């Protein structure tokens, strides 16, 4: 099935399935049923079967899923069997934390550079990287084959930076700024806003 025909909500669940299967594999378990997998995740077994059916048949009736096989198939579907090149824009506290987050490289997301407009930050070392000026964006995207950018900039700058990234050829953006970006249909944007998440949590307290 073409990727654009799969609902986004289904795609967002796939990494959760993969993460859970990784935990199950660590226990030594070789086969898991959709019912058991659903209990781990908190979704129905029917939902899991429906989600996976968009991509093929992976289980055996009354036997379940082979854990290692389903893990490898989900990695293939999510294209996690290769390295992805990432550019971070914003060298503040969040940018520093993201550059130093070891799990990125462990999961095939290679940070290729970090940019900032603040002259006081340009030239500073963050881990093995050196903060570069915004004027280096297009060159870095092209030379380092960057496909994904992470925005760690204030909301007032996010749209302008996103426009520059898209013009440079970036196809996916992870935005930490509390703003909804306007982007072309072929550019995918995901958002992480800790404050908004905390605001939903307070409702339940």
- For the segment 91-143, what is each residue's pLDDT rounded down to a tens digit? 999 999 999 999 998 899 999 999 999 999 999 999 999 999 999 999 999 99
Token look-up 């603040």 returns: 118
- For the segment 57-71, what is each residue's pLDDT rounded down to a tens digit? 887 766 789 999 999
**CATH placement of domain 3-77:** 1.10.10.10
- For the segment 6-34, what is each residue's pLDDT rounded down to a tens digit? 899 999 999 999 999 999 999 999 999 99
The pTM of the full predicted model, rounded to 2 decimals, is 0.88
Q: Provide the residue ranges of all domains of the chain, joining segments of one domain with +.
A: 3-77, 84-197
A 10 A CB-CB count for 128 gives 8
Q: Is CATH 3.40.30.10 correct for 84-197?
A: no
SS3 135: helix
Query: What Rg value do the Cα atoms of the chain yield, rounded?
Result: 19
Report which DSSP code applies to 115: E
Among 204, 200, 177, 205, which residue's Cα sits nearest to residue 190?
A: 177
Mean pLDDT within 173-200: 94
Is 188 in contact with 170 (CB distance < 8 Å)? Answer: no
Q: Is the model's pLDDT at 5 over the cut of 90?
A: no
């Amino acid at each position: 099935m073409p990727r654009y025909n799969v609902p986004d909500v289904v795609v967002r669940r796939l990494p959760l399935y993969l993460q859970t299967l990784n935990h199950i594999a660590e226990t030594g378990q070789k086969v898991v049923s959709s019912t058991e997998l659903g209990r781990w995740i908190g979704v129905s077994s029917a939902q899991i079967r429906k989600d996976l059916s968009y991509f093929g048949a992976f289980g055996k009736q009354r036997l379940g899923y082979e854990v290692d096989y389903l893990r490898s198939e989900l990695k293939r579907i999510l294209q996690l069997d290769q390295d992805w090149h990432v550019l971070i824009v914003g060298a503040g506290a969040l940018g520093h934390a993201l550059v130093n987050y070891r799990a990125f490289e462990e999961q095939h997301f290679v940070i290729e550079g970090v940019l900032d407009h603040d002259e006081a930050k340009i030239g500073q070392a963050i881990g093995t990287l050196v903060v570069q000026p915004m004027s280096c964006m297009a060159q870095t995207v092209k030379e380092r084959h960057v496909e994904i950018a992470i925005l760690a900039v204030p909301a007032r700058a996010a749209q302008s930076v996103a426009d520059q990234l898209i013009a440079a050829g970036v196809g996916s953006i992870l935005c930490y700024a509390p703003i909804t970006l306007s982007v072309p249909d072929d550019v995918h944007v995901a958002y992480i806003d800790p404050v908004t998440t905390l605001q939903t949590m307070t409702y339940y307290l």
